[in-house]
Amino acid sequence: MTGWQTLFYKEILRFWKVGFQTIAAPVLTAVLYLLIFGHVLENHVKVYDSVPYTAFLVPGLVMMSVLQNAFANSSSSLIQSKIMGNLVFVLLTPLSHWSWFFAYVASSMARGLAVGLGVFLATGWFTPLHYVAPLWIIVFAVLGAALLGALGLVAGLWAEKFDQLAAFQNFVIMPMTFLSGVFYSIHSLPSFWQQLSHLNPFFYMIDGFRFGFFGQSDVSPWISLAVVGSALLVVSAATVKLIQSGYKIRS
């Protein structure tokens, strides 16, 4: 194995060795969300005419799990290596900045998609789902996991201690995730909040992903694809530039 493949393998082993914490725990959390919100709101909320609320909720929970865990993987790995001091062993290797980027982002995608699949299989016991456009499901899951994996690298590079990383996650990632339409359609919001939601790239990831299941969405999936693809390119370019410059890892 060479270069980024070796680092990728190391990152896969890192989260797989504690799979009960990194995979099983997020799946359980998503199932609890489904049980609580589905039970309480099933007979009170109807987003699409032909879709029960519990079925509407499942794709949002799956995508939310993919995004949160892809971010957590790259960000936690980098901050742990910085604090424990073993990042120097990676810096001593002749790996290029592209190798760093591909290894960390690919491993984050692997964890995010693994958790998402686990959530999908676990929630499938509670409500049947149909697949109108499976290709859209795959595209948005992959792009979303890659985007959050890259954003996790930015957070890991910026943070110098766990408190800073927790602040980034609590004040940036969590609000953007929960205000993205996981539990509701943005058409149910007042006009101001609808307009604000359209500035949130997480909304387009979840809305496009949900379109693959029901063939219905708040905006066109092509618009969502354009927004998510553009966001991925911008964040990836910034991430590669930061790694290349050695931002907070070589000084």
Q: What is the percent of the chain with per-residue pLDDT over 70, rounded to a whole number? A: 96
- Token pair for 124: 């499938």
* Mean of the per-residue pLDDT values of the chain: 90
pLDDT tens column, 22-61: 999 999 999 998 888 777 766 666 667 777 888 888 999 9
Helix (H, G, I), strand (E, B) or coil at 205: helix
Confidence at 123, pLDDT banded by 50, 70, 90? confident
> Between these two residues, 114 and 54, which has the higher pLDDT value?
114
Q: What is the pTM of this model?
A: 0.92
Measured CA to CA, the distance from residue 31 to residue 33 in angstroms comes to: 5
User: pLDDT value at position 146?
Assistant: 97
User: pLDDT value at position 43?
Assistant: 66
pLDDT of 1 above 70: no
Own/partner pairs for 35-42, CB < 8 Å, 24+ apart? Answer: 35/126, 37/183, 38/126, 38/127
pLDDT tens column, 177-198: 888 888 888 877 788 888 888 8
pLDDT tens column, 72-88: 999 999 999 999 888 88
Nearest residue to 77 (alpha-carbon basis) of 95, 99, 103: 103
